[in-house]
Structure 1
């Protein structure tokens, strides 16, 4: 049987972003996902440049997986040089970069190249394995035992990348490997728009469906969107020697790389990929939140110390907020109680008319009123109209007003008339 590797690529802008900074390519033997960074004007350019350059390796024929591995590594280095050249021509793109996860099938092997936090997964016999390792700050913390994988999912520095392609490093460190692959294997490459919002159990379940690769890729995109994924989402699903007719597959490009890469900017020239010369440029040092130098251990320690300081500040702020809320509640209770003690009403106490200070209510077992004046006026001696008023209580604005009400009721009992 002729060996086939059938792949499907899908990309979506996500629920928040206005442009797609992801790019993907699924060819006859090459499959690659790039997730750009650098803001609205840079991330899409970076991923498109990288994917378009790496896609050139799909047309070659490799005599060994080692040749394919070397070709991939060389293509990523060339893409890095292209990005540096682009920043040289368009300084407003300074600091742009991109992750790349790519693989080429050669016979029963898969050559892999990877940098950043996009991921490659393999589903074999129902078991899902993450093939690549994220080049992120939190992954380094996990590897060093400083935090757990569960803590990494919500860590405030989870977006900090340790390695990317871009104008930052002339010689980026790229992970490469060669793995065996067999009939029935299902591979997946995705940007972090999927892996950050859909857990691996759900990914395994969807990949385990026996539907075609295109349907599975669509389903994974929908899963990410249903989880509210704000980021761009790109997924490539690859089946090794699938059953079915041996129909030729056309290369598919998705995301920003699928459109024309032309732009004008003040002080810059129109970008034409064929005219860009591949030569090393002076490395540009860029300070930004999304990337740190991989070997700067002092900087990592400073980041860890800063995270600890932030955690302490957050705890202190919460304690202050809780203290203010508690103090406000106590002060409100004191002021509220003081207000109730300025209120009076006439009611019944042990069958006689009495003057109460406070309001006719209670807080739990504690009443908010108390008798401040007893009388010897029996309530049942009052006419029915007045009895009903006293039993329902008669509000008084002041203590003097309450005394006047008592005097009036006493007169009603004594003379049978109201003064």
Structure 2
């Protein structure tokens, strides 16, 4: 029986976001995830435009995997142009953009195209492998040996993208590859709403526990939500199936399914009006996630991060110094207060007047003898000796002398 391609797509808005800016497509041989960004400036529009344009590739027949690879790359470049035209039409969309990760099966081979930080994984046998590389600032730092993967996972700029589809680059660099696929392979495409919150070992375990693509995709989205995923989550699972099963048919999920702006989302649409950007020459700042893929920018961010680290260290040192000063001042004031106090007690076997309080701070006593007397314990009545064993506080040195005189009178009596 001919091996079939069985895919399913699931998308969820996440636990925090109010709208879904992800888009996904599960077709006959083409599968795609796009993660839009730009907030209310049009992240949902960006992912929808890109997804609908790239999805047209599913209608084509390819003689070789290389033809499919080139077609995917060309479709992403065309989607980039569509996004640029949308911005010319609507200036409020400036800065919008989207990631795109797609694969298309041609016989026993899969062709992929990728830009951004959405991911493609392959589960084969007992292993889960990440096929794509994230086009992020921290990934570049890892690749150049400046930080470790563990440091990248908690880096404050781990969401800064170096490459996306949008209006920031007229000729975006698309990663492509051609990979052999086998019956039993399971391919996973996902937005960072999954990969940023669910560890790969858990992704692998969830996939092992799901019988078919639909259950696997739903279970992965559920796992992301259990981890509190604040971001949109989109997962597409593609099984290279021996049984001859079939996909659910061309399926759009997320923003592309809702088509947030049908007029702009029509691929190839020509705009006859005067471009709005000419009427609004003051270009609004793009979100931080969009940046050119240049070493100058990379070095500038590294310098900025170093300054941030030093500022944080200086702040912490200042806080620690203030706390230490407070502790020292408090200790000095407290010690001085104890030295205004007096009490009468025994120094060995003799009655003595102490300055301070009958206590210690660790090995440091908070009192010392200021007036020794010649009165011995044996010369006192049991009652007087018992009181002095517990020490008798005095309001002043003069009051302490009165207590000693009373003890002396008691001994004579």
Structure-2 change in CA distance of 1:401 and 1:61 (3 Å): farther
CA contact (8 A) 1:85 1:276 kept: no
SS in 1 for 2:172: coil
Q: How does 1:14-413 map to 2 (within 5 A)?
A: 14-209=14-209, 211-243=211-243, 246-247=245-246, 249-262=248-261, 271-274=263-266, 277=269, 286-294=285-293, 296-378=294-376, 386-413=384-411
CA contact (8 A) 2:136 2:161 kept: yes
1:223, 1:210 → 2: CA distance? Answer: 13
Q: Distance in 2 between matches of 1:393 and 1:40?
A: 75
Q: Secondary structure at the match of 2:17?
A: coil
Aligned-residue offset at 1:271: 4.2
* Alpha-carbon displacement from aligned partner over 1:39-91 (angstroms, at most 9, x marks no partner): 24432222222223322333334343333323322322232223223323332
Unaligned runs of 5+ in 2: none
Higher mean Cα deviation, 183-192 or 230-239? 230-239
Hey, what's the Cα distance between the residues in 2 that align with 1:256 and 1:384? 92
Name stretches of at least 5 consecutive residues in structure 1 with no aligned partner: 263-269
- Take 1:229 and 1:389, find their aligned partners in 2: how far apart are those partners? 68
Following the alignment from structure 1 to structure 2, what is the Cα–Cα distance between the partners of residues 182 and 36?
32
Q: Which has the higher contact order (CA 8 A, sep 6+)?
A: 2
Question: Cα gap change, 1:117/1:410 in structure 2, threshold over 3 Å: closer, same or farther?
Answer: same
Listed one character per residue, the Cα deviations across residues 7-58 of structure 1 (whole Å, up to 9, x for unaligned) are 2222233343333322222222221111122124432222222223322333
User: How far 1:396 sits from its partner (Å)?
Assistant: 2.7
Give the superposed CA RMSD: 2.9
Alpha-carbon shift at residue 174 of structure 1 (Å): 1.3
The DSSP-based 3-state class of the residue aligned with 2:99 is strand
Shift, 1:370, TM fit: 1.6
Would you say the 8 A contact 1:81–1:278 is kept in 2? Answer: no
Shift of 1:414: 4.5
Change in Cα spacing, 1:287 to 1:397, as seen in structure 2 (3 Å) is: farther
**Whole-Å separation in 2 of the counterparts to 1:304 and 1:272:** 37
Return closer, same or farther for 1:271/1:388 CA change in 2, 3 Å cut-off: farther
Question: Are the equivalent residues in 1 in contact too, given 2:38–2:287 (CA < 8 A)?
Answer: no
Q: Take 1:123 and 1:331, find their aligned partners in 2: how far apart are those partners?
A: 63
Q: 1:291 to 1:340 in 2, by over 3 A?
A: same
Normalized against structure 2, the TM-score is what? 0.87
Report the TM-score, using the length of structure 1 for normalisation.
0.86
